[in-house]
């Protein structure tokens, strides 16, 4: 299953023709949840090895519409991992200092080092999405960024970083239900903003922007995965499968001690 949602370079992307329902791929929720928990145990162990080996770098990028499930995915998938080895970066509106540099400046600083897993909650892709939809910068500025991003990611891969990019694909109806849940539950009110409704009005424009982004930035070295995300249980399973497979391919090992510990007993 780990490859069924992966885009191939050059693929035409029409999001309303791609299912948002995990039930189209797995109907048994109980089995999926059990498999997810087992895979998460594998992830916890593989992440420990990855951190101890201090050799490779793994960057995981999450993009989605508002209420798409980025926070919940990160919380559930990485539950139990060693927090020393996982760094989550949320990219908000750029600061004045960040705007004084190129758009990738703040991103490059958050790229993981050896032994680390870096998780981007939103990312450099906001600079070809939000800025486009809301006309923050002209097309002459945002359009060249597709190639700039591809070159940036290629450089990261060539210098030892594995990149996994996930677009959490939810339906407009599912977004409505999640927004309503945030309104109805006082403990979730803080997650809702009237600005979310203004963005919701621009759904078709956002979909067009996402489609071109996915097409233009799916490369051999860093393809996108379009994850059906209406059902959280399937979303978590599909993403964890991809991450575990990537770590297994890296095959990290616990390093051997440079000291001879044979027969050593602590008194």
Task: List pLDDT tens digits, range 160-202.
Answer: 999 999 999 999 999 999 999 999 999 999 989 898 899 999 9
What is the DSSP pairing of strand 86-90 with strand 117-121? parallel
Reading the block at residue 213, the tokens are 């982004």
Nearest-angstrom CA–CA distance, 52 and 114: 10
CB 77 within 8 A of CB 115: no
| Sheet with 86-90, side-by-side order of all strands | 86-90, 117-121, 57-64, 161-169, 224-228
Nearest-angstrom CA–CA distance, 250 and 53: 11
**Of 245 and 258, the one with more pLDDT:** 245
- Where do the domains of the chain lie? 15-250
Nearest-angstrom CA–CA distance, 105 and 124: 10
Over 118-159, what HEC string results? EEEECCHHHHHCHHHHCCCCCHHHHCCHHHHHHHHHHHHHHC
Nearest-angstrom CA–CA distance, 168 and 21: 11
Q: Which of 44, 18, 68 is nearest to 240 (CA)?
A: 44
pLDDT tens column, 76-119: 999 999 999 999 999 999 999 999 999 999 999 999 999 999 99
Nearest-angstrom CA–CA distance, 244 and 91: 25
pLDDT tens column, 1-57: 568 999 999 999 999 999 999 999 999 999 999 999 999 999 999 999 999 999 999
Reading the block at residue 42, the tokens are 């594998």
In the chain, the percentage of residues whose pLDDT exceeds 70 is 99
* Res 2: pLDDT: 64
CATH number corresponding to 15-250: 3.40.50.300
Q: What is the DSSP letter of 114?
A: T
Rg (the chain; Cα; Å): 20
List the beta strands (DSSP E) in the chain.
57-64, 86-90, 117-121, 161-169, 224-228
């Amino acid at each position: 299953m780990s490859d069924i949602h992966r885009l191939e370079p050059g693929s035409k992307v029409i999001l309303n023709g791609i299912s948002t329902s995990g039930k189209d791929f797995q109907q048994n929720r109980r089995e999926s949840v059990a498999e997810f928990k087992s895979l998460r145990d594998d992830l916890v162990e593989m992440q420990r090895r990855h951190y101890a080996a201090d050799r490779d770098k793994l960057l995981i990028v999450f993009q989605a519409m508002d209420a798409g499930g980025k926070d919940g995915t990160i919380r559930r998938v990485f539950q139990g991992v060693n927090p020393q080895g996982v760094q989550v970066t949320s990219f908000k509106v750029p600061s004045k200092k960040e705007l004084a540099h190129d758009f990738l400046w703040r991103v490059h600083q958050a790229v993981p080092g050896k032994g680390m897993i870096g998780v981007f909650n939103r990312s450099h892709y906001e600079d070809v999405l939000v800025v486009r939809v809301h006309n923050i910068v002209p097309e002459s500025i945002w359009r060249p960024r597709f190639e700039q991003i591809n070159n940036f990611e290629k450089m990261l891969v060539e210098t030892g970083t594995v990149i996994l990019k996930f677009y959490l694909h939810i339906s407009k109806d599912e977004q409505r239900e999640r927004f309503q849940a945030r309104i109805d539950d006082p403990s979730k009110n803080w997650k809702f903003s009237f600005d979310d409704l203004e963005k919701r009005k621009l759904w078709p424009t956002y979909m067009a922007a996402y489609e071109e982004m996915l097409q233009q930035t799916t490369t051999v070295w860093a393809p996108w995965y379009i994850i059906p995300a209406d059902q959280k249980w399937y979303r978590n399973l599909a993403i964890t499968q991809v991450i575990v497979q990537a770590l297994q391919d890296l095959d990290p090992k616990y390093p051997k001690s440079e000291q001879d510990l044979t027969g050593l007993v602590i008194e």
